Amino acid sequence: MLYEPRRFKLKDGREALLRNPAPESDAAPMIEALTEMCGETEFLLRYPEECTWTVEQERDILESANRADERLMLVCEVGGEIAGMCGLNLNRPLKFRHRADVDIGLRRKFWGQGIGTAMFEAMIEVARGRGVRQLELDYIEGNDRGRSLYEKLGFVEVGRRPDAVRLKDGGFRKLIYIMKKL
């Protein structure tokens, strides 16, 4: 799904650009950014060594996302660097079209600058425009920064999945299921 690029100011005054990823130029930097993000926090759903797809595979993923009517993928660019990425996944079956899943990731050096809020606002706007009535997201227990952002945006907890995430050290974490009515 295509998105009209939008510029906005970060809290520190820098300018950011929210846009669809460009498959040819963004494939390698997106793999690098995701790998970095996965190493900066245990609250993403994979470890850095699991980011093993090729640039060609990432390019195909980006091309497919940009063409898809039911998927929006966005990157936030700051100073020519990918600061974060997010996605909105619409449901196709009629009984579930009122719902959509969202996901988000942000490099640590860009935390606290308003990027997460801007990405969520963009996804909410697109979802509303597509008739979505409910956004849904799972987050890993202990992700207090994420929880704070989600609550600020009006998400509420509706369920928990015990032992849904197993960490390398053998410990388990809950997945906390939240939603926002639009």
| Cα–Cα distance for residue pair 108/111, rounded to 1 Å | 5
Q: What is the 3-state secondary structure (H, E, C) of 42-92?
A: CCCCCCHHHCCCCHHHHHHHHHHHHHCCCEEEEEEEECCEEEEEEEEEECC
Residue 175, beta-bridge partner list: 140, 161
Which two tokens mark 125? Answer: 């706007």
Tell me what pLDDT residue 37 has: 96
**CATH label, 6-133, candidates 3.40.50.720, 2.30.30.90, 3.40.630.30, 3.30.160.40:** 3.40.630.30
Tell me what pLDDT residue 110 has: 97
Tell me what pLDDT residue 97 has: 94
All structural domains of the chain with their residue ranges: 6-133
Q: How far is CA 140 from CA 125, 145, 154, in A?
A: 25, 11, 18
Tell me what pLDDT residue 13 has: 97
φ/ψ region of 63 (left if φ > 0, alpha if ψ in -120 to 50, else beta) reads alpha
Tell me what pLDDT residue 128 has: 97
Tell me what pLDDT residue 55 has: 96
| Cα–Cα distance for residue pair 40/97, rounded to 1 Å | 34
Global confidence as pTM: 0.94
Tell me what pLDDT residue 59 has: 96
Tell me what pLDDT residue 21 has: 97
CB 68 within 8 A of CB 100: no
pLDDT of the chain, 182 residues: tens digit per residue: 999 999 999 999 999 999 999 999 999 999 999 999 999 999 998 999 999 999 999 999 999 999 999 999 999 999 999 999 999 999 999 999 999 999 999 999 999 999 999 999 999 999 999 999 999 999 999 999 999 999 999 999 999 999 999 999 999 999 999 999 99
Residue 62, beta-bridge partner list: none
